[in-house]
């Protein structure tokens, strides 16, 4: 499964290099993440953020404020040019998580992430 996710990460990064971090969680467990990100300690709260429409999430000590959320996505941004945290649903129990640079437009970056989630559907 790792190589399928790695291939999808490579495609996403190639089409949007402002997407700098990528992870897959299933039922509050990190299945795969890029080497520059560690979500193990935060994943149980993050997995609930879309469902709860959480006003804020904390990722590696950085607080991100929700811009938008739905049952299929979550978009949040941090103050002080610390980037954007994004989530897209793969299926009922799996989520694709991403981090985009401060220069990116989070509402567009989550569309790229959602495309990757669609391609991973049924494979995770």
For the chain, how many structural domains are there in total? 1
Helix, strand, coil in percent for the chain, rounding step 5: 30, 35, 35
Closest C-alpha to 115, from 46, 2, 35, 22: 22
pTM, 2 dp: 0.94
User: What pLDDT does residue 124 have?
Assistant: 83
User: What pLDDT does residue 98 have?
Assistant: 97
| CATH number reported for the structural domain that contains residue 70 in this entry | 3.30.450.30
Give residue 105's Cα distance to chain centre.
14
Q: What is the CA radius of gyration of the chain?
A: 13
User: What pLDDT does residue 115 have?
Assistant: 96
Query: How would DSSP label each residue in 45-76?
Result: HHHHHHHHT-SEEEETTEEEEEEEE-SSEEEE
Evaluate whether 82 touches 108 at the Cβ level (below 8 Å): no
> Per-residue pLDDT for the chain (124 aa), expressed as one digit of tens each?
569 999 999 999 999 999 999 999 998 899 999 999 999 999 989 989 999 999 999 999 999 999 999 999 999 999 999 999 999 999 989 999 999 999 999 999 999 999 999 999 988 8
* Range(s) of the domain holding residue 107: 2-120
């Amino acid at each position: 499964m790792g190589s399928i996710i790695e291939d999808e990460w490579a495609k996403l990064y190639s089409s949007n290099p402002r997407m700098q971090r990528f992870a897959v969680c299933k039922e509050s467990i990190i299945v795969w993440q890029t080497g520059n990100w560690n979500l193990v300690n935060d994943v149980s709260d993050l997995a609930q953020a879309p469902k709860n429409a959480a006003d804020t999430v904390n990722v590696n000590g950085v607080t991100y404020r929700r811009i938008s959320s739905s049952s299929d996505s979550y978009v949040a941004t941090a103050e002080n040019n610390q980037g954007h945290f994004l989530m897209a649903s793969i299926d009922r129990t799996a989520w694709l998580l991403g981090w985009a640079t401060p220069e990116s437009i989070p509402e567009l970056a989550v569309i790229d992430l959602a495309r990757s989630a669609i391609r991973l559907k049924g494979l995770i």
